[in-house]
Structure 1
Amino acid sequence: MLIVSSPDQIKTPTAIALGNFDGIHQGHQIVLQPIIQSFQVQPQNDLQPSVVSFTPHPREFFSGGKLQLLTPIPEKAEELSILGIKQLILLAFDRKMASLSPQEFIEEIIVKQLQAKIISVGADFRFGYQRKGMAEDLKNIAGNFGITVHLNSLHKYEDRDRQAVRVSSSLIRQALSKGEIKQANKMLGRPYSLMGKVVTGQQLGRTIGFPTANLALPPEKFLPRYGVYAVDVFLNQNLEQNIIKGVMNVGCRPTVAGETPTIEVHLLNWSGDLYGRDLKVNLLQFLRPEQKFDSVEALKQQITQDCQAVLNN
């Protein structure tokens, strides 16, 4: 996967999906399909199947704040690569970019810079100065340049009340914040994952018989509800036999006077040195909220129950 942030590095001509695509959820995958298929149907053509996003995110640019992301850029690039996207183009969002009218955006960015021949967007796509351009405007203006534009219906799924709900990154964050992992995974179309390097922690887990791998995550990674989770741990992301069941704690460990959030994973029926290795952890089920125990012994008993619950699943 080529990650491009400089216009002169972009491989053109392109077939592009436009949007932020945080999470690469099922709705996003519908938008990506026309771009992926354009390459699969005619792999001999020279169109580069690409995703085009902005950095910083326009909301970050205007608010000055930082967004917590379901898929930070390296993780997003990996998921896009799995789906068949060849390059992730990160356009610099600045005052000049923000001031472009819909017509100017298409002429200067889509046509000249990206040399796009095919565009795919969601039906609610907005673009240009003050987001005045709508999906239909994109189709009409781009059509004048001979560009094919796919407008894709928004993906919906049945929630627990059997109501049709539109899948969105915001809804996924809400579900994760409540510990509703199965709902979040249903919207994503895959398990929500945490990816990071194993670093040295306080090694308190070893002292109570439950050694843990401490994961260092990108600071912008969105964390689910504090608590204990059943997880699958990938020691080698390409080999299924290297998937190990585990119990993960996300939070501040109040029983041992923790102050800053940590992500600690205990691998079941496995031992070895993980320091410095990159792990991928898939969240499968929320087991219980974080809580403060009266003693370390009570904590050990609860962790034993957590581990047994995962093994019995």
Structure 2
Amino acid sequence: MWVTSSTNNVITPTAIALGNFDGIHLGHRQVLKPILELQKQYTPTIVTFTPHPQEYFSGQTRQLLTPLTEKVKLLESLNIRQLVRLPFDRSLASLSPQAFVEDILVKQLNAKYISVGQDFRFGKGRAGNAQMLQELAQKFGVFVHITKLQTCLNEDNSLRISSSRIRQYLATGNVRQAKEMLGYPYSLEGIVVKGQQVGRTIGFPTANLQVPLNKLLPRRGVYCVRAFLTTEEVIKGVINIGSRPTVNGQVPTVEVHLLDWSGNLYGTFVRVDLEKFLRSEQKFPSLDALKNQIKQDCIVARQILA
């Protein structure tokens, strides 16, 4: 997939999906569907902003469900051919809705078809909405498809699918409900690096994942997972996300213990899919107490993942 931050080297003409698309959840996929159906005529293109407008105005870094490398892989798997990351700066932020449509979408991106969600906003002060985009683009012969908000069931309620709600689920460790909205398990991935190797001393060696700094970590604690190795093996395991208070850890780490597996993973890439939250992070009185709890975690994980 072609990734660019410059409109000077965009592959045109384009069928565009506009939005942030953090997570590429089931709601996002409905927005992408129309442009994929036009891929024989136009280049299916995602147009997003970097940094996120909220990050630009607040000055606070946003943790992401899908950092760039993950987003690219997901979009590639959906046959999206181009990702345009428009630099969000003072100049872009000051564009009126009319100027954004004419100067950016029509002139620079040569958009022939645009797809947005029902709640899409754009232009200076978020003055433009999906209906206004439809009206403005029509003047240039560009069709705008507006996708209705998507919902999924949560117990007895039907809830709107959104990145913010997925974040809320992850903050409480509810990875199963997050999966319902994402359409796939929430995962953590990275290169395995050396840690303090405490797990090895108590019989539970762990792989210390170096995840991207801007990756959103779910609630601290222990989860059962499925790990995907570069050898294409899929291994059951348990993961601990936290600062390891029993051994006076200070920095949050992501450490996975693989069940019934041994080998050297240093320097290799590993992805883990979070399947269920098992327990919160806690400080144990001794390493033996920690060891006994990990044994119990592994027993429960085997039962859940069986």
User: If the length of structure 1 is used for normalisation, what is the TM-score?
Assistant: 0.95
The answer to whether the 8 A contact 2:17-2:32 is kept is yes
How much does 1:80 deviate?
0.9
Give the C-alpha shift of residue 100 in structure 1.
Answer: 0.6
Query: Alignment partner for residue 235 of structure 2, among 227, 244, 267?
Result: 244
| Residue identity matched to 2:272 | V
Where do residues 149-228 of structure 1 align in structure 2 (5 Å cutoff)?
Answer: 149-160=144-155, 162-228=156-222
SS in 1 for 2:37: helix
SS of the equivalent of 1:279 reads: strand
What SS does the corresponding residue of 2:115 show, helix, strand or coil? Answer: strand
Residue of structure 2 in register with 1:296 after alignment = 287
Q: Determine which of 123, 126, 146 is the counterpart of 2:118.
A: 123
Q: 1:311 is matched with which residue?
A: 302
CA drift of 1:38 comes to 1.4
Structure 2 counterpart of 1:62, one-letter code: F
Unaligned 5+ segments in structure 2 are none
Match of 2:30 in 1: 30
Which residue number in structure 2 is paired with residue 287 of structure 1? Answer: 278
Structure 2 residue 260 is the aligned partner of structure 1 residue 260: no
> Aligned with 2:38: secondary structure?
helix
Q: Percent sequence identity over matched residues?
A: 57
Corresponding letter in the other structure for 2:157? Q
| Displacement of 1:312 | 2.0
Structure 2 CA distance for aligned equivalents of residues 134 and 50 of structure 1 = 20
Quote how far apart the aligned CAs of 1:164 are. Answer: 1.4
- Paired residue for 2:57? 62
Distance 1:204 1:48 in 2: 51
1-side partners of 2:62 and 2:35: how far apart? 27
Counterpart secondary structure, 1:38: coil
Q: Which residue does 2:10 correspond to in 1?
A: 10
Moved over 4 A (4+): none
- Rounded Cα–Cα distance in structure 1 between residues aligned with 2:139 and 2:242: 53
Letter in 1 for 2:95: L
Structure 2 length as normaliser, TM-score?
A: 0.97
**1:166-212 deviations in Å (ceiling 9; x for gaps):** 01111111100101111111111110011111111111111111111
Secondary structure of the corresponding residue to residue 71 of structure 1: coil
2:266 aligns with 275
Aligned to 1:234: 228
How big is the shift at 1:223?
0.5
Q: Secondary structure at the match of 2:21?
A: coil
CA distance in 1, matches of 2:16, 2:294: 48
Match of 2:48 in 1: 53
Secondary structure in 1 matching 2:275: strand
Tell me the residue number matched to 2:137. 142
**Amino acid corresponding to residue 186 of structure 1 in structure 2:** E
Partner Cα distance (2:206, 2:182) in 1: 27
How many residues align? The count is 304
Q: Distance in 1 between matches of 2:250 and 2:9?
A: 44
The aligned residue for residue 89 of structure 1 is 84
How many Å apart are 1:163 and its aligned residue?
1.3
CA distance in 1 between partners of 2:267 and 2:277 (Å): 27
Q: Which runs of 5+ in 1 are unaligned?
A: none
Query: Contact 2:230–2:268 at 8 Å: present in 1 too?
Result: no
CA RMSD, Structure 1 to Structure 2 (Å): 1.0
| Paired AA for residue 292 in structure 1 | K
